[in-house]
Structure 1
Amino acid sequence: MADTADTTRSGGGEATPVLRKAGWRHIGPGIVVAATGVGAGDLVATLIAGSKFGYTLLWAAVIGCLVKISLAEAAGRWHLATGRTLFDGWRSLGRWTTVYFAGYVIVWGFVYGAAAMSSSALPLAALFPDTLGVKWWAIICGLVGLVFVWFNRYAVFEKVMTFLVGLMFLVTVYLAVRVTPNLGDALAGLVPVLPDGSLLYTLGLVGGVGGTITLAAYGYWVNAKGWRDAGWMKVMRMDNRVAYLTTGVFVVAMLFVGAELLHSSGVALAKGDKGLIDLGGVLEDRYGAATAQLFLVGFFATSFTSLIGVWHGVSLMFADFVGRLRERGEEGEGGGAAAGRAEGVPAAEKSLPFRAYLLWLTFPPMALLFLDQPFGLVIVYGVIGAFFMPFLALTLLWLLNSSRTPGEWRNGWLSNGMLGAAGLLFVVLCVQQVRELPW
């Protein structure tokens, strides 16, 4: 059952939310956003950074977690402080945000659907060789994700995600301990240093791990939990910190594995999700089949949580997007927030737009599993995707420093500094991603 907030009445008769005390029993949306945001590709990027530079870039991974904490906190704070959804906030900045989001969510969802299904299929194909090929495992994963999200509400979704995160946590920590990390070198890696040729890897560690549209979905999961107003602010902030502490453990553990297992032996991994299959082979040679299979189970948990997390969270955002388009012309400035409030989430999970986007994420991308991705689609996907994180950081900076946010909950100097730094970082990464596209 969703949590509810108490209120008191002020002298004017208005409901004033009572600040709830943060407690472990409330933790939930943070676990969901951590599990969804860390995918197989993120773990490979961290492994490769560890294999090339050892522990030297550990500091970048820590800073990356702090950046994501600031972004997710800002998204959650907007939802709770204003009672409006993030897309409602974006729309108040001008029609250009609607045009951008429409293009992004359609093209990104089409390509991401195929990538998520393939990533979940790879460890299954390795665990059960001589059964089904990767493409058929991918289709099964997509259909299972569709059925699960279609028929379950947020409470069940959160419980399953929590279980899979626990599995990921145990596997990654076990591997980090198994490779016997050099703690002295690891502590030295907390001192900011940039070895030759490490700039792009550093920026990737700071900006990439756990940094996707799921950061924007965090506010929607906060609402789905039943946190409806500013009375839940302390709870949300604790939940968010737990989320990125969890993310930090994943990242540090995989950096340890890359530094000890790969850097010392000079082993190179393939880029992308297939790099984790390479790691499975290395683990089997070094520690035996049981460790390799355990790793593949963790690999599957990492990939499948990203799949069902996006299937649920981005579908909620799309449902809100469609709802706002329907309201255009029917509301005054700052009004019409009801459809995006916490009480609207259960209805959104059953809505036609929510389920339509679920189908969009599942069935059209299956064509890409059997075809090479069209060249033009890759270009469009790369350009639109590269702009999303700077878009998120800079629009949150705008919204939370304006009169759209109640004065008590506007940005302070720390939030402005973190969001400003995040925006600058993501602009640099955006330019680099666009330059590297196969024009």
Structure 2
Amino acid sequence: MDAAHPDPAPAGAPPGRERPTAADAGPGADAPQRRASLRRVGPGIVVAATGVGAGDLVATLVAGAELGYTLLWAAVVGCVVKIALAEATGRFHLATGTTIIEGWRSLTRWATGYFAVYVVVWGFVYGATAMTASALPLAALFPDVMPLAAWGALCGVAGLVLVLTSRYAVFEKIMTALIGVMFVVVVGLAVLVAPDVPAMLAGLVPRLPDGSVVYTLGLVGGVGGTITMAAYGYWVNAKGWHDRGWMRVMRWDNRTAYITTGVFVVAMLVVGAELLNAASISLTEGDRGLLDLGQVLEDRFGAVVATVFLVGFFAAAFSSLLGVWNGVGLLFADFVAVLRGGAGSPARAQRPERTTAFRLYAVWLTFPPMLLLLLGQPFQLVLAYGVLGAFFMPFLAGTLIWLLNSARTPRQWRNSWLSNALLAAAGLLFLVLSVVQVLSYLT
């Protein structure tokens, strides 16, 4: 069968949910593809900004500090992998008229069961992590105003208020502004430290020096790769792109955003290579390593540059917080609706942030994790968070291969051999990363 004669609903599809036809997908489902332009870019910027957090900045800096430009090629490969994953998620939403949660539900109950456990445990620990990362630069900028935990709680409440009260258009503008600040600051720093262009070009040749495997996997898989990649389709819907006529625009949006992210990652690698590698400076582990970089910048370039960097640090951390509060809230709201057998997904509602499930999950991300800000993170909970989080990306890549090669997706929009190859490579990569991460928690 072809796209004009959709396949019947697959066995195991959610009760009452028949396979959408072109008419079901909404006006313009079979219309000529809408024109792509920079004015239409939005959801891709949101998902890319969310995926690049403070921890990713440190990982990239450390790779540059330890190995210079040697792993520049890995950053490029990582960008391609993320484009493939996000494109597959957006394509599934637009081609089928359903959501990724509905797709998982149609596969088997273990898929939604895994998501249910993951989203509760991961969200609890991530809430504390995101609030702490956002608080660190504020505490450094205003050291005598309030303690770190108070800054973290303030960031969490601010994020909660913004996602509960802002329509998607406003939310997108806030995220675009934050990633704009982040981009200008980091690329400006890369220019300021004067990159070695011949060494950069040499770094595009794939090679693995001794002891570089972990850094390589981290660069390819870590930057921009989180649960919010699964939220991309929901942001596409919130933008008003509901049918196959928007496929070209979605792909343009996705590629533009991740190429921008790739430039950002390269700039961070330049800063690590030129500023830290040359001076043999090591960073503190975790998000606090960025405070070390702020001190290095102050020593070399003065207080103004260090202050500007801390503003960029805050933009990176707070954009991730906002993106998770909104994007994973949409996933959770849709999960609840699908379990209840609802007739319509909140992803296609005019104001999905007004659903009870969305609000409850945003509150879950904000207030319970504040206990961890005060008490520290219990080892067992951190272990569960690490294990569940590590295996989410292989889960996403594997289920996308399954969904986009099956009768659930109209034939015209199923995976090409290149899509299958990139998703399979992503799944294998993230599986290896998962094992490495789990072993790091256990040892």
Q: Given the two structures, how large is their TM-score scaled by the length of structure 1?
A: 0.93
Q: Deviations over 1:292-337 (max 9, x none)?
A: 000000000000000011000000010000000100xx8xxxxx5x
Partner of 1:396: 400
Residue 380 of structure 1 deviates from its aligned partner by 1.0
Q: Which amino acid aligns with 1:348?
A: P
Are 1:169 and 2:169 counterparts?
A: no
22-31 vs 73-82, which moves further:
22-31
Q: Deviations over 1:259-314 (max 9, x none)?
A: 00000000000111000000000000000000000000000000000001100000
Residues in 2 aligned to 1:183 and 1:339: alpha-carbon distance in whole angstroms: 49
Partner of 2:308: 294
Partner of 1:142: 156
Partner of 1:158: 172
Secondary structure of residue in 2 paired with 1:16: coil
Secondary structure of residue in 2 paired with 1:437: helix
The structure 1 segments of at least 4 consecutive aligned residues displaced by more than 6 Å after TM superposition are none
Partner of 1:23: 37
Are 1:240 and 2:254 counterparts?
A: yes
Secondary structure of residue in 1 paired with 2:296: helix
Match of 1:85 among 99, 105, 108: 99
Residues in 2 aligned to 1:188 and 1:15: alpha-carbon distance in whole angstroms: 46
Residue 202 of structure 1 deviates from its aligned partner by 0.2
Q: Which amino acid aligns with 2:368?
A: P
Q: Is the 8 A contact 1:84 1:340 kept in 2?
A: no
Partner of 1:420: 424
Q: Which amino acid aligns with 2:60?
A: T
Q: CA RMSD of the aligned region, Å? A: 1.4
After superposition, residues 40-55 of structure 1 pair within 5 angstroms as 40-55=54-69
Match of 1:67 among 77, 81, 103: 81
Q: Which amino acid aligns with 2:399?
A: T
Q: Is the 8 A contact 2:334 2:347 kept in 1?
A: no
Residue 229 of structure 1 deviates from its aligned partner by 0.5
Are 1:261 and 2:267 counterparts?
A: no
Secondary structure of residue in 1 paired with 2:30: strand
Secondary structure of residue in 1 paired with 2:131: helix
Are 1:367 and 2:371 counterparts?
A: yes
Partner of 1:191: 205
Residues in 2 aligned to 1:223 and 1:412: alpha-carbon distance in whole angstroms: 23
Secondary structure of residue in 2 paired with 1:130: coil
Any stretches of 5+ residues in structure 2 without a counterpart? 1-21
Partner of 2:13: none
Any stretches of 5+ residues in structure 1 without a counterpart? 1-7, 331-335
Q: Is the 8 A contact 2:34 2:245 kept in 1?
A: yes
Q: Is the 8 A contact 1:319 1:353 kept in 2?
A: yes
Give the share of equivalent positions with the same residue, in percent.
Answer: 66
Residue 164 of structure 1 deviates from its aligned partner by 1.0
Partner of 1:4: none
Residue 14 of structure 1 deviates from its aligned partner by 10
Residues in 1 aligned to 2:184 and 2:387: alpha-carbon distance in whole angstroms: 36
Residues in 2 aligned to 1:124 and 1:36: alpha-carbon distance in whole angstroms: 19
Residue 16 of structure 1 deviates from its aligned partner by 3.0
Are 1:307 and 2:311 counterparts?
A: no
Q: Is the 8 A contact 2:90 2:232 kept in 1?
A: yes
Q: Which amino acid aligns with 1:40?
A: A
Q: Is the 8 A contact 2:333 2:346 kept in 1?
A: no
Q: Is the 8 A contact 2:167 2:351 kept in 1?
A: no
Residue 348 of structure 1 deviates from its aligned partner by 2.0
Residues in 1 aligned to 2:49 and 2:377: alpha-carbon distance in whole angstroms: 27
Match of 1:103 among 117, 124, 127: 117
Q: Is the 8 A contact 2:401 2:423 kept in 1?
A: yes
Partner of 1:410: 414
Q: How many residue pairs end up in the alignment?
A: 419
Q: Deviations over 1:77-127 (max 9, x none)?
A: 000000000000011110001110000000000000000000000000011
Q: Which amino acid aligns with 2:273?
A: A
366-375 vs 350-359, which moves further:
366-375
Residues in 1 aligned to 2:287 and 2:175: alpha-carbon distance in whole angstroms: 21
Partner of 2:132: 118
